[in-house]
Amino acid sequence: MSIVYLINRFIPLDKAKISILDRGFLYGDGVFETMRAYEGVVFRLEKHIERLFKSLKALRIRLETDKSKIQKIVYKLLDKNRLKDAYVKIIVTRGKSTGLLIPSETGRATLAVYALPYKGYPGGVYKRGIKVFLAKTGCNEKSPVAGKKTLNYLDNILCRYEAKKRRFDDAILINTKGFVSEATSSNIFLVKGRKLFTPYLESGCLPGITRNEVIRLVKRLLGHRIKGGFIKAAALYGADEIFLTNSLAEIIPVVRVDNHVIGRGMPGPVTGKLRELFRDSVNRYRAKWKIDKNDFL
């Protein structure tokens, strides 16, 4: 039986319950982070927790648990479940509702953390790439929760449903100004010649942890130029390569957008090289944290 963390204690998964009055259940009033553990080490855990607290601050949710304790909870959870390669999720809601839409100033946030075994996407995804379509909607860059991992995920879910209906693997969300924002659960990059492009955060996209890692790797190791920009949807069709990034899938090649084949219709060399560099980065981080993580157990 899996062990989870809920409201100050570790308990079996089947005993983990929250009130039906919790604002996360009632309104989607909360935030989350999804991470990946490699050989017992959560990649860039500190960055995920930092982003979590920025989202909490933006939503005015007060969490009594501090950053270092959350790190301890995550590693104790992995240890209790004897997990090495895992999917880890942190969820924070505003807590129990008092019956009003405007939350109480004295409410206590609900913190939940769970981890499940995870081995990554099937290798075929990286060898053949995926197909995406332009959703035209799904991102309001003007929203105060744009770029935050909130529990309000319906736009993304409905766009992913539409992708499946149309026999695509994912959807690219376009913001209210007609610019590319992100995929339903990933950031997006374009390769054109020796330049890489990714949407500005002002386009409404998430400040992804893997996105930031890719930007760092391109600047330091790849020898290509990388630029943020307001990217028109039509620019995707003329890209040499496109790839998506997130913490679970890492870097996924895109070989078709709508009816347009990208490049040669197969994963490109820049995408492949970045996948190698990313894995090297994970291994270096893991080697360091094999020692440091013991401080959190």
Predicted pLDDT of residue 297: 57
Q: What is the rounded radius of gyration, in angstroms, for the C-alpha atoms of the chain?
A: 20
Q: pLDDT digits over 19-43, tens only? A: 999 999 999 999 999 999 999 999 9
Burial 176-213 (b: 16+ CB within 10 A, else e): eeebbbbbbbbbbbbbeeeebbbbebebbbbebbbbeb
The letter for the amino acid at 297 is L
Domains of the chain, start order: 3-117 (3.30.470.10), 123-283 (3.20.10.10)
Predicted pLDDT of residue 294: 60
Q: Which is nearest to 235 in space by CA: 257, 213, 220, 251?
A: 257
3-state class (DSSP) for residue 239:
coil
Predicted pLDDT of residue 202: 96
Q: In the predicted model, is pLDDT for residue 235 greater than 60?
A: yes
Predicted pLDDT of residue 99: 79
